[in-house]
């Protein structure tokens, strides 16, 4: 598993992510509708208050809202799970 080591909330619902394998960059989450569990992001400054939940190694905003760091990694590198698996098998 690829470990997320740093997360920072940015304007316009973007996250800066850094992983222990050296991959880092910005992921745009503005496409997520801010309803239901995500309505917390409607509060001014709340999105930028993201923190690293070290228990589950995930970016979080509350006990109820965290995001899967592996899916964020796939978004960061621009690959689907299938593409990632195929590439990983080729390297092994």
What CATH number is associated with residue 33?
A: 3.30.2020.10
Half-sphere exposure of 84 (CA within 13 A, CB side): 14
pTM: 0.90
| Residue owning tokens 């569990």 | 37
Counts of helices then strands in the chain (DSSP H, E): 2, 5
Per residue in 30-67, pLDDT (tens digit) is 999 999 999 999 999 999 999 999 999 999 999 899 99
Element (H, E) at 74: helix 69-77
Number of folded domains that form the chain = 1
Per residue in 5-25, pLDDT (tens digit) is 999 999 999 999 999 999 999
Q: Domain of residue 28: give its range.
A: 4-91
Taking alpha carbons only, the member of 54, 63, 74 closest to residue 2 is: 74
Phi, psi (degrees; rounded to nearest 5) at 53 = -80, 100
């Amino acid at each position: 598993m690829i470990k997320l080591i740093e997360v920072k909330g940015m304007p316009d619902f973007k996250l800066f992510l850094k992983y222990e394998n050296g991959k880092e960059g910005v992921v745009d989450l503005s496409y997520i509708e801010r309803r239901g569990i995500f309505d917390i992001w409607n509060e001014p400054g709340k999105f930028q208050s993201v923190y690293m939940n070290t228990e589950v190694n995930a970016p979080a905003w509350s006990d109820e809202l965290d995001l899967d760091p592996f899916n964020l990694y796939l978004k960061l590198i621009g690959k689907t799970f299938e593409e990632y698996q195929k590439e990983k098998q080729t390297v092994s």
